[in-house]
A and B are shown apart, each in its own frame.
Chain A
Amino acid sequence: MEHYNMNLTVKVWRQKNSKDKGGFVSYQVTDISSEMSFLEMIDVLNEKLIVEGGEPIAFDHDCREGICGQCSLYINGKPHGPWMANTTCQLHMRAFKDGDTIVVEPWRAGAFPVIKDLMVDRSAFDRIIQAGGYISVNTGNAVDGNSLPINKDHADASFAAAMCIGCGACVAACKNSSAMLFLSAKVSHLVLLPQGEPERKSRVLNMVAQMDKEGFGACTNTGACEATCPKEISISNIARLNKEYLFSSLTSDK
């Protein structure tokens, strides 16, 4: 892989706090290596801002290996930037070339208010999980792990849904700011396992009710969520969610 250095213009959304109106500010960054990660490029810019007496750009990030889901960023109009199946922290600068202008914005969704600059509040996701995204089993209740064989295909499909990192890119990508892909991934993860069966109906009804309460939009099946998901969560989970919701609405005992 050939390495190269580049000079770039970075247009960043700056917003002092949730009450501030905010706006774009342009910065020049020089000598950026193609081997850097995107966030390391922001680190370089921040270091420059600090030394020059400015305020560094606030952004969420933690593991920087694509698994914790804390990083976000709308980069050139795409959540997590131009690469497929990728998080912002794993985006590397070889995705760009010398002279490029890069536009960086926070997630845009009514249910994700901006805290500062590029940081948003995604606690709505935690509240959706609180509404039913679990199996009610206290510590100590469990039987032997192998006492209940689980069809491998079901276990694998459950795992594929459970890989969701809760980053919110699906919401950011959706023109309706819908959280259906996130919610459907959790419902699928649990409903595909026999352990999830007892709470099957109440779970989906309660989680959907909470999603609506948080102000997420409705799903119109455009598929932007699936296309942008860093973990390639399938949109077929939304079909399963709809089926579960309908079935539970019609047959619920309550």
Chain B
Amino acid sequence: MLDAKIPSGSLDDKWTDYKGHCKLVNPANKRKLEVIVVGTGLAGASAAASLGELGYKVKAFCYQDSPRRAHSIAAQGGINAAKNYQNDGDSVFRLFYDTIKGGDYRAREANVHRLAEVSGNIIDQCVAQGVPFAREYGGLLSNRSFGGTQVQRTFYAAGQTGQQLLIGAYQALERQVALGNVKMYPRHEMLEVVKIDDKARGIIARNLVTGELERHFGHAVLLCTGGYGNVFYLSTNAMGCNVTAAWKAHKDGAAFANPCFTQIHPTCIPVSGDHQSKLTLMSESLRNDGRIWVPKKKNDERKAIDIPEEERDYYLERRYPAFGNLVPRDVASRAAKERCDEGYGVGTSKQAVYLDFADAIVRYGKIEAGKEGNDQMSIEDIIVLGKEVVKEKYGNLFDMYEKITGENPYEFPMRIYPAVHYTMGGLWVDYELQTTVKGLYCLGEANFSDHGANRLGASALMQGLADGYFVIPYTLGNNLADDIYSKAIETTHPAFAAAEKVASERIQKLMNIKGKQSVESFHKRLGKIIWDKCGMARNEKGLQEAIKEVQALKNEFWSDVRIPGEINEMNPELDKANRVADFIELGELMCIDALNRNESCGGHFREEYQTEDGEALRDDANYMYVAAWEYKAEHEWTLHKEPLIYDVVKPSQRSYK
């Protein structure tokens, strides 16, 4: 079932050779070929724009009111590229190697190498579009370092890199809309894939304003619908982020790979109460200057500033002297959980650790004083100068923290705790980004391919744009070249009618339950099960319980959910019900996958498999494979294994000590 179609030849040459030999579609034929793009974040907008530029007839769909809202916009820290502008030893190979190692040797070498190869082109393209990256006084691009790496390869636009990249892609997309190459369908949600002769040939989408179901034909369908972090209810995802399109594709034959690989980000603002609807990330770049600590004494009730230096435990610096506060996300998250579980947590909930800028403020203040040639400056004045520097670098993040918590982070250390942030798992795709359904492609976070079991910081933006700008324009053409004789199929075809009927009946069924509990309440309960039992740490017993609980929750949902309003109108509760129903089914598969994987790797930490000092213990002999699940029937999946073969990198115990 799984043919990854990795080109032969040496790793360095695979992508070049592929591009040199793939089939092309001539411009006159491109005009006859229609492509559907679902989702308009970095992957979707860049794909839709690039394919429109090439001359394909593109239809793009998003659930938001405008493509500019997609949640790529919230990425803060930056985007990696192997430019080596800083002369600090970076290269395509090193970016490739860091990404493979960061992913704990669970990603495909060929895909990751291609990602590193095109990383530089992405920066060039974005600069040309007018993305205002941070610059040095000489006018050249600025870089910073990011968690899990030792070179400065991250390009950024203050703390709003995702926003600026998305606006660049959005503008390119709107340009194609104006030129008539792309037709945009905002406030639409895909509810079914339409397959004809085993090929994806269109979708059923619901117009969220009128509630009508619409049929759309495409010679190919691209899903660029982001991750499924909202299965946890509380996550840093936007409220509308969902798995529905990917899940419908899965139930229609697309294998779902490594669903249990989810990333818990170490630096988020902690939960403040039961009312909480979402979590907010504080960029990982804060770990460049902030120091993370907890009190050395359990249940210490003192205020942070009253705890003297010698009674603080800078546990990351203690455990990982080589990387310190810059260890990768999975390692930093688990270390925070470990301290809190042991009773050293801080704040009212005790589920938080401190992120402290006091040292950085003094350090920067001294540098500023030195610039003024004043080595007699008082510590108070040094702190004033230092705060200015910190404000310049992280001002927007500090402001955000203060708005949410009501505390001033310039005066008191911030409280942070890990939160669900990204999902490495997703639809299985081959080297061409095609799923196991022919004609159905998956790009960006929605696919599984590049980050293995853990994603490094500043790599998500890179992957989304690599897939959309530089990979799919080649790989799609290679497949559509065989389709130039296929005329557009009328949407009166029985396959469209059948798919629409499935979507329509499901909506009817949901509306007719007329139970007592809100969609939101089910979503919260699902999130709690998955967070408690398939979150930062998992074990066999918990996962077995979780599977039963999720199955029971599904029954309860389908017999007692209450959806107000009508079908044929704007009905956000119905939209949400459609999504939560799919999250529940995905939740079960995540637990099954986590249970199957009897090892710890990256973001997947099975308590039974750890070293003596609590580090993740991989089992390369038995689990060096991609777990791709084929949907069979309710509660029933078949596991297909894609072995991971490392020709170039030699897998080793990941050490950041």
Contact = CB atoms under 8 A, between A and B. Distances in A.
Interface string B112-150: 000000000101111111101111111111000000000
Nearest to B241: A62
Nearest to A83: B403
A98 interface: no
A151 B121 contact: no
Contacts of B400: 65-66, 90
A115 B209 contact: yes
Interface stretch (B312-320, B500-508, B569-577): B569-577
Given A64-B278, A65-B74, A195-B128, A149 B139 contact: yes
Interface in B6-31: none
B164 A159 contact: yes
Interface stretch (A126-134, A172-180, A220-228, A243-251): A126-134
B204 to A, nearest CB: 22
Nearest to B469: A139
Interface string A42-57: 0110010111011110
Contacts of B49: 139
A63 B130 contact: no
Contacts of A119: 570
A39 interface: yes
A159 B157 contact: yes
A134 B175 contact: yes
Which one of B124, B140, B275, B569 has the highest number of Cβ atoms from chain A below 10 Å of its Cβ? B275
Contact of A55 (B239, B399, B565): B565
B240 A145 contact: no
B174 A139 contact: no
Contacts of A92: 403-404, 406
Contacts of A163: 160, 163
Interface in B361-403: 399-400, 403
Interface string A93-136: 01000000000000000000001100101110110011101111
A51 B516 contact: yes
Interface stretch (B65-73, B330-338, B350-358): B65-73
B564 interface: yes
B123 to A, nearest CB: 5
Contacts of B68: 68-69, 126, 166
Contacts of B499: none
B85 interface: yes
Nearest to A157: B132
Contacts of A125: 66
B163 A50 contact: no
Which one of A47, A131, A196 has the highest number of Cβ atoms from chain B below 10 Å of its Cβ? A47
Contacts of A133: 171, 174
A6 interface: no
A64 B158 contact: no
Nearest to A65: B280
Given A63-B71, A121-B65, A133-B171, A1 B405 contact: yes
Contacts of B170: 129
B73 A135 contact: no
B66 A190 contact: no
B462 to A, nearest CB: 14
B520 interface: yes
A60 B65 contact: yes
Given A37-B277, A139-B50, A142-B127, A63 B238 contact: yes
A189 B164 CA distance: 11
Contacts of B157: 159, 162
Contact of A135 (B128, B177, B276, B469): B128
B73 A40 contact: no
A143 B64 contact: no
B151 to A, nearest CB: 17
A219 interface: no
A58 interface: yes
B487 to A, nearest CB: 28
Interface in B54-98: 64-71, 73-74, 83, 85
A85 B253 CA distance: 48
Contacts of B281: 65
**Interface footprint category on A:** 35 or more
Contacts of A159: 132, 134, 157-158, 164
Nearest to B572: A58
B135 A150 contact: yes
A23 to B, nearest CB: 18
A130 to B, nearest CB: 4
A215 to B, nearest CB: 18
**Interface footprint category on B:** 35 or more
B74 A63 contact: yes
B404 A90 contact: yes
Contacts of A209: none
A145 B174 contact: no
Interface string A1-44: 10000000000000011000000000000000101110110011
A237 interface: no
B124 A126 contact: no
Interface string B268-281: 00001101111011
Contact of B570 (A58, A86, A196): A58
A144 interface: yes
A58 B211 CA distance: 14
B470 interface: yes
A145 B134 CA distance: 12
B140 A162 contact: no
Interface in B557-613: 562, 564-565, 569-570, 572-573
Contact of B520 (A37, A43, A129): A43
Contacts of B140: 146, 149
A33 B275 contact: yes
B135 A43 contact: no
Nearest to A121: B65
A226 B473 CA distance: 41
B292 interface: no
Contacts of A83: 403
B171 A135 contact: yes
A32 B41 CA distance: 35
Interface string B425-465: 00000000000000000000000000000000000000000
A135 B130 CA distance: 7
B483 interface: no
B83 A145 contact: yes
B66 A195 contact: no
Contacts of B407: 1
B275 A152 contact: no
Which one of A58, A119, A138, A144 has the highest number of Cβ atoms from chain B below 10 Å of its Cβ? A138
A82 B177 CA distance: 37
A61 interface: yes
Contacts of A58: 570, 572
A152 B520 contact: no
A150 B129 contact: no
Please give me the 4 A-B residue pairs with the lowest Cβ-Cβ distance, nearest first. A149-B139, A134-B171, A142-B128, A1-B406
19 contacts: A35-B272, A47-B521, A64-B278, A66-B400, A67-B160, A85-B399, A119-B570, A130-B175, A131-B178, A133-B174, A137-B172, A139-B125, A139-B469, A142-B127, A146-B85, A146-B140, A149-B140, A152-B136, A156-B132
Given A47-B521, A137-B128, A146-B140, 13 more contacts: A1-B406, A17-B569, A35-B272, A40-B275, A51-B562, A115-B209, A125-B66, A126-B67, A137-B125, A137-B172, A145-B124, A162-B132, A162-B157
